[in-house]
Amino acid sequence: MSYKLENLTFTNKKPDVKLVNFNAQSKELTNLYLPTKKDRRFITNVLKGNEKLAHGRFRIDGNELIGGRFVKSKVAFIKTDKWLERLIPPRVILTSSQLFDIKFIRQARLKKNDKKYNYLSFADSRNDLSDMDLRRELDKVISLFLDDLTEIEKSLVRNFQNKIKEFNHHQTNKLFGDYYTQIQVLVREYASLSLKIIVNNLLLTFFQALWDQVYSFKDLRNSCPCEYNVEKSSNKSLNKIRYKFTYRQPYFMVEKRLKTINIRIADLRFLLFKEKRIARQIRKQIMLELHKYHQEHKVPKNVQATLKTQTENWEKIIKDITTTFEKSQQDFFYVTLPEEGALVRRRLIFLTHQYHKKVLGGSNRIGDAKEFKLLKKHYRQEIKGIYQQAVIQTKENLDHLNIKFDWYLKNGFKLSSLNIIYIKLLRAMNLKKNNIIFQDVFNLLTKNDYRALMNTMKNLNRVYPDLTFINLTGDFAAITDWGNYVYGLNADRELKALQPPTIAKLNAKKITESLPTSWNTFNYLSTEGGVAIGNTLWQLPKLKPTPSHKVFVNPFLVQLEPPTEVIKTTMLPMIIKTKSQTKFLDRHMILGVTKSGVKLVFYSSEILEANKERVIFIENRAIVNL
């Protein structure tokens, strides 16, 4: 949704970058230009959360950074692929990635459970329409019971949670307000995680108590005398339908709800295991960071002891509040739940007995046998395993986004870079990663591939409106939009949003190296009257002599028309012929060729037609001595 780094400084005494300010918003592609590998490696580590912060704020999707593991769960880094990745079938990659999505697995299990027991219940009704109506009504009663009690419990827990959150926020600012931002973030996350563990333990107890109540709905067979009366009846025709009086109707509905609760309990247990493990790691990290901070700032022992005492008191207060709430919960679990459960049992018995009376009176309705057989087959086919659901979901995603993989070429099995990017994008979607960072991949794309990727990203933003895209590159030509600010390093080694002319001036040598030979470079000769470039004498300040005797022309300080008469005297007019180019992704970067054959690329806000002669004007400040 967003990637926001504000005034980041680092504990490293000699960081490669002194200060980082970076902001990438959803539905946008933010460009980040770093021409050296060393700078890209450092900023990549910063974006991954691997550089320890001294000051500043690091937020992803509005959440504070708590370490590399947090970033990994929120951000997908798409870089050049390895040859092994090209050998794995794409649908296997995409389908398998969904199996790592806990939310998808839970929904798939619930869907399979519902379809399975709905089918078994339908088949067990033996084409008795009145029996089917009863089963639907029983399912509705049990569902209402579960939904109402679950909502009440969640509301109680939510109020308790908000109370603790407010107290934790106050204590964090009070005790750790003067410490490094990284320590404050770790403390906040540990407090938040500890609260989640408390809440999930409460929910686990609630669902276990709820399971007991639902299980009691299975034991209703002896609650109605109809089965006994039919068994002792002298009417032989009733013996053939005695199974209708054995309370089989609630069985599959109760089993379905028990399985649903079991899934929820299993999820909570897994979540608690995961949260406790992460909490231990964060607590260990907090102790390590505090120890380093106290040593670095020579904090007195008595101050450290006071902090420890205050922290222990904080934990004790939370424990007391939790104990009080747990006692109130016991009344809900062991008094309210059984009372509500008893009401539901009476309702289930009443509805089932009403059906028994219909059967005894011969007023129960029987459906068409052929239709029943067809519906039974249909419901059976609707039961899909988890992997089958993942395959179906993958196919629907591909169709919805209009992505097609056609990779079997005549000369053998080959995958394009674009297709690999598609796979990684969709895998990120499956893993619920809303922030996508492209690392030196756009320069591998042709212009057609780039346009196809932009269309796909638009489709993705339509389906997933919270996506954020970042283009981290060292290739000057791979920047997608030079009409806006581009993030880069200024002269003070600070990462911030810079204007394109500034970026070109600071990185002139690197840009020259990345461009084809002689693009935007001119030989010059210093004279008393100015600087001779080609056959033109230009009144420039005297250039400092260099071995190369070459100058670089800043592509963002070239005008199609001189703004004023005054500026005309400080501009070099030049006749060029526009040519089509495939080097730059930004179509506003125009290639022109002078009469002497020198190629000059420049930025134009309007798209110029190829193979047309025109005059351009180069500003004085566009000249950078190489």
Three-state SS at 468: strand
Summarize pLDDT for 88-146 with one digit per residue, the tens: 666 677 777 777 778 888 889 999 999 999 999 999 888 888 889 999 999 999 999 99
> How confident is the model at residue 541, as a pLDDT?
59
Structure-model confidence comparison of residues 401 and 177, the more confident one: 177
Q: For residue 407, name the pLDDT band (cuts at 50, 70, 90).
A: very low
Task: Please provide the average confidence, as pLDDT, over all residues in the chain.
Answer: 84
**Percent of the chain that is helix, strand, coil (3-state, to 5):** 55, 20, 25
> How confident is the model at residue 313, as a pLDDT?
92
Is the pLDDT at 203 greater than 90, yes or no? Answer: yes
Q: For residue 474, name the pLDDT band (cuts at 50, 70, 90).
A: very high
How many Cβ atoms sit within 10 Å of the Cβ of residue 411? 5
Mean pLDDT of 582-601: 86
Handedness of CA 273, 275, 277, 280 (dihedral sign): negative
Structure-model confidence comparison of residues 260 and 542, the more confident one: 260
Give the whole-angstrom CA distance, residue 588 versus residue 610. Answer: 12
Structure tokens at 489: 């390093």
**CA of 357: how far to CAs of 224, 251, 344, 350, 537, in Å?**
11, 19, 20, 11, 110
> How confident is the model at residue 498, as a pLDDT?
93
Residues 6+ positions from 27 with CB-CB distance below 8 Å = 461, 465, 467, 468
Summarize pLDDT for 542-562 with one digit per residue, the tens: 556 555 567 788 899 888 876
Q: For residue 409, name the pLDDT band (cuts at 50, 70, 90).
A: very low
Is the pLDDT at 530 greater than 90, yes or no? Answer: no
> How confident is the model at residue 314, as a pLDDT?
92
Residue type, 66: I
> How confident is the model at residue 410, as a pLDDT?
32
- Taking each continuous run of H as one helix and of E as one strand, the counts in the chain are 18, 22
Please classify residue 307 by burial: count the beta carbons closer than 10 Å to its beta carbon, then call 0-12 exposed, 13-18 middle and 19+ buried. Answer: middle
Give the whole-angstrom CA distance, residue 559 versus residue 579. Answer: 17
Structure tokens at 228: 């006994």
Query: Cα dihedral angle (607, 612, 615, 618), rounded to 10 degrees?
Result: 50
Give the whole-angstrom CA distance, residue 614 versus residue 561. Answer: 10
How many Cβ atoms sit within 10 Å of the Cβ of residue 93? 17
Handedness of CA 245, 218, 150, 344 (dihedral sign): positive
Is the pLDDT at 37 greater than 80, yes or no? Answer: yes
Give the whole-angstrom CA distance, residue 442 versus residue 453. Answer: 10
Residues 6+ positions from 124 with CB-CB distance below 8 Å = 248, 251, 252
* Superfamily name with CATH number, domain 3-87+413-490: P-loop containing nucleotide triphosphate hydrolases (3.40.50.300)
Is the pLDDT at 33 greater than 90, yes or no? Answer: yes
Summarize pLDDT for 280-322 with one digit per residue, the tens: 888 888 888 888 888 888 889 998 899 899 999 999 999 999 9
Structure tokens at 497: 């949003």
CB 314 within 8 A of CB 171: yes
Mean pLDDT of 199-210: 93
Please classify residue 386 by burial: count the beta carbons closer than 10 Å to its beta carbon, then call 0-12 exposed, 13-18 middle and 19+ buried. Answer: middle
Q: For residue 531, name the pLDDT band (cuts at 50, 70, 90).
A: low
Scan for tokens 């990203």, then name that residue: 457
Structure tokens at 525: 């000769």
Residues 6+ positions from 224 with CB-CB distance below 8 Å = 245, 247, 349, 352, 353, 356
Count of positions (residues) in the chain? 626
Q: For residue 54, name the pLDDT band (cuts at 50, 70, 90).
A: confident
Angle CA(184)–CA(188)–CA(194) in degrees, nearest 5? 145
Is the pLDDT at 217 greater than 70, yes or no? Answer: yes
Q: Where are the domains of the chain?
A: 3-87+413-490, 128-366, 507-625
Three-class SS of 82-148:
CHHHHCCCHHHHHHHHHCCCHHHHHHHHHHHHHHHHHHHHHHHCCCEHHHHHHHHHHHHHHHHHHHH
Strand (E) or helix (H) holding 44:
helix 37-47
What is the phi/psi pair of residue 192, to 5°? -65, -40
Q: Which of 272-276, 350-354, 479-483, 533-537 has the lowest mean pLDDT?
A: 533-537
Mean pLDDT of 588-605: 86
Mean pLDDT of 336-351: 90
> How confident is the model at residue 35, as a pLDDT?
92
Mean pLDDT of 483-501: 92
CB 424 within 8 A of CB 78: yes
How many Cα atoms within 13 Å fall on the side-chain side of residue 171?
24
> How confident is the model at residue 453, as a pLDDT?
87
Structure tokens at 529: 């009257």
**CA of 464: how far to CAs of 3, 27, 61, 626, in Å?**
16, 9, 14, 46
Summarize pLDDT for 62-98 with one digit per residue, the tens: 777 666 677 888 888 988 766 666 666 666 777 777 7
Mean pLDDT of 600-609: 86
Residues 6+ positions from 217 with CB-CB distance below 8 Å = 142, 250, 254, 341, 344, 345, 348
Mean pLDDT of 558-577: 71
Residues 6+ positions from 133 with CB-CB distance below 8 Å = none
Percent of the chain with pLDDT over 90: 30
Percent of the chain with pLDDT over 70: 89
> How confident is the model at residue 413, as a pLDDT?
39
Give the whole-angstrom CA distance, residue 99 versus residue 431. Answer: 9
Residue type, 472: L
Q: For residue 462, name the pLDDT band (cuts at 50, 70, 90).
A: confident
Is the pLDDT at 368 greater than 60, yes or no? Answer: yes
Give the whole-angstrom CA distance, residue 359 versus residue 467. Answer: 58
Q: Which of 37-41, 136-140, 288-292, 335-339 has the lowest mean pLDDT?
A: 288-292
> How confident is the model at residue 553, as a pLDDT?
85
